[in-house]
């Protein structure tokens, strides 16, 4: 077994040797606990013929284990200094490809087209400042991924798996993630396993990418616009939210007609509607508009 990077002493040694000062602005909180790395690895359910995209390898603590479990790792790191030391730190592994790029801009589609018949998973301890935009990109671009397993802030994970019963955690991100995937919180992670320690706890969330959405939707743009409108004014009734929405132009009579047709009481709040109700409501609006 190769020397594990995920420990406080080895991490410190690598940082000192390379004169690296961690950047808070890039969400550089490194994992220094082997057990948590093992839990991420087991949540990823990797096999030797699969490829992994890792976003933000840092100094390689998770990358190292991914390289041992998968056929190949595509490690995308934004930081100039970290990307330059990774090949040396991980020189025992010849199945890692280092990519110096911003995960918000990187062309995942092109990479996945090149990997055409491979099963590809994303596994990462995401930089906190861009967690949600990165997850949304991976899902909304309908990339040909099998599973996404990422460490995020605990509150973010709770939001992504939330249902109407979960109160204010439930919102537009919950519905988007659940439309494209089946999310599950794998484990809650205390802040003590990071160097430096963040101010909040984290969670590992897995998302199995759906081949088919869980509900039938006539017009996805309208479906997501209705959801956004409902949560933009979440304390208002669904009738008011939809007819006052700025992102979609729906007049009050049309909203009333649609709500009546699908049997949603006009005084209900949008935050109480589940994904099925949003689908029937947007399908009815679509029919009335066309
Ligand atoms: N994987 C390492 C670990 O678990 O210890 C580091 C995780 S650290 C939370 C996040 C990493 O993402 C950092 O190495 C940071 O430099 C990198 N990063 C930040 N923003 C990024 C971006 N937009 N694209 C790619 N990598 C980014």
Residue of the CA atom closest to atom 8 of ligand 1: 28
Cβ distance 61 to 31 under 8 Å?
yes
Residue numbers of the chain with a pLDDT score lower than 50: none
* Cα 82 to ligand 1 centre (Å): 9
> pLDDT at position 249, please?
85
- For residue 3, the CA-to-ligand 1 centroid distance in Å is 21
Relative to the CA of 29, which ligand 1 atom is closest?
9
Domains within the chain, CATH numbers bracketed: 8-209 (3.40.50.150), 220-289 (1.10.8.100)
- Closest residue to atom 6 of ligand 1, CA basis: 58
Q: Do the annotations mark residue 31 as ligand-binding?
A: yes
Residue-wise pLDDT for 175-227, tens only, equals 999 999 999 999 999 999 999 999 999 999 999 999 999 999 999 999 999 99
Asked if residue 27 belongs to a known ligand binding site, the reply is no
* CA-79 nearest atom, ligand 1: 16
- The answer to whether 212 is a known ligand-binding residue is no
Q: Is 18 marked as binding a ligand?
A: no
Whether 125 has a binding-site annotation, put simply, is: yes
- Which residue among 26, 89, 100 is best mutated to probe the pocket of ligand 1, counting the most ligand atoms within 8 A of its Cβ? 26
* Residue 95 Cα to ligand 1 middle (Å): 20
Distance 44 CA to ligand 1 centre (A): 18
Residue 261 annotated as part of some ligand binding site: no
Ligand 1 interacting residues, C-beta cut-off 6 A: 26-31, 55-58, 61-62, 76-79, 82, 102-104, 125, 127, 130
Nearest to 106 by CA among 72, 71, 70, 130: 130
pLDDT score recorded for residue 1? 64
CB atoms within 10 A of CB 54: 26
How much distance in Å is there from the Cα of 260 to the middle of ligand 1?
A: 49
Pocket-testing residue among 5, 56, 107, ligand 1, by greatest number of atoms within 8 A of Cβ: 56
């Amino acid at each position: 077994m190769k020397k594990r990077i995920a420990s406080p002493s080895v991490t410190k040694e690598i940082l000192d040797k390379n004169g690296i000062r961690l950047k808070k602005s890039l969400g550089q909180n490194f994992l220094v606990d082997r057990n948590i790395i093992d839990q991420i690895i087991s949540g990823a359910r990797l096999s030797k013929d699969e490829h992994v995209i890792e976003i933000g390898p840092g100094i390689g603590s998770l990358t190292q284990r991914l390289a041992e479990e998968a056929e190949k790792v595509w490690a995308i790191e934004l930081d100039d200094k970290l990307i330059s030391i990774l090949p040396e730190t991980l020189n025992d592994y010849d199945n890692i490809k280092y990519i110096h790029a911003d995960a918000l801009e990187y062309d995942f589609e092109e990479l996945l087209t090149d990997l055409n018949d491979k099963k590809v998973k994303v596994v990462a301890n995401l930089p906190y400042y861009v967690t949600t935009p990165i997850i949304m990109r991976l899902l909304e671009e309908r990339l040909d991924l099998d599973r996404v397993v990422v460490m995020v802030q605990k509150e973010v994970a709770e939001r992504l798996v939330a249902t109407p019963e979960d109160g204010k955690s439930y919102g537009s991100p919950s519905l988007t993630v659940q439309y494209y995937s089946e999310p599950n919180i794998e484990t809650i992670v205390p802040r003590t396993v990071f160097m430096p320690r963040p101010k909040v706890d984290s969670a590992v969330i897995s998302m199995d990418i759906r081949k088919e959405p869980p509900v039938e939707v006539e017009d996805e743009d309208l479906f997501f616009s209705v959801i956004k409108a409902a949560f933009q004014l979440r304390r208002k009734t669904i009738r008011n939210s939809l007819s006052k929405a700025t992102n979609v132009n729906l007049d009050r009579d049309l909203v009333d007609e649609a709500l009546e047709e699908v049997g949603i009481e006009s005084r209900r709040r949008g935050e109480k509607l589940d994904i099925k109700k949003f689908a029937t409501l947007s399908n009815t609006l679509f029919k009335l508009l066309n």
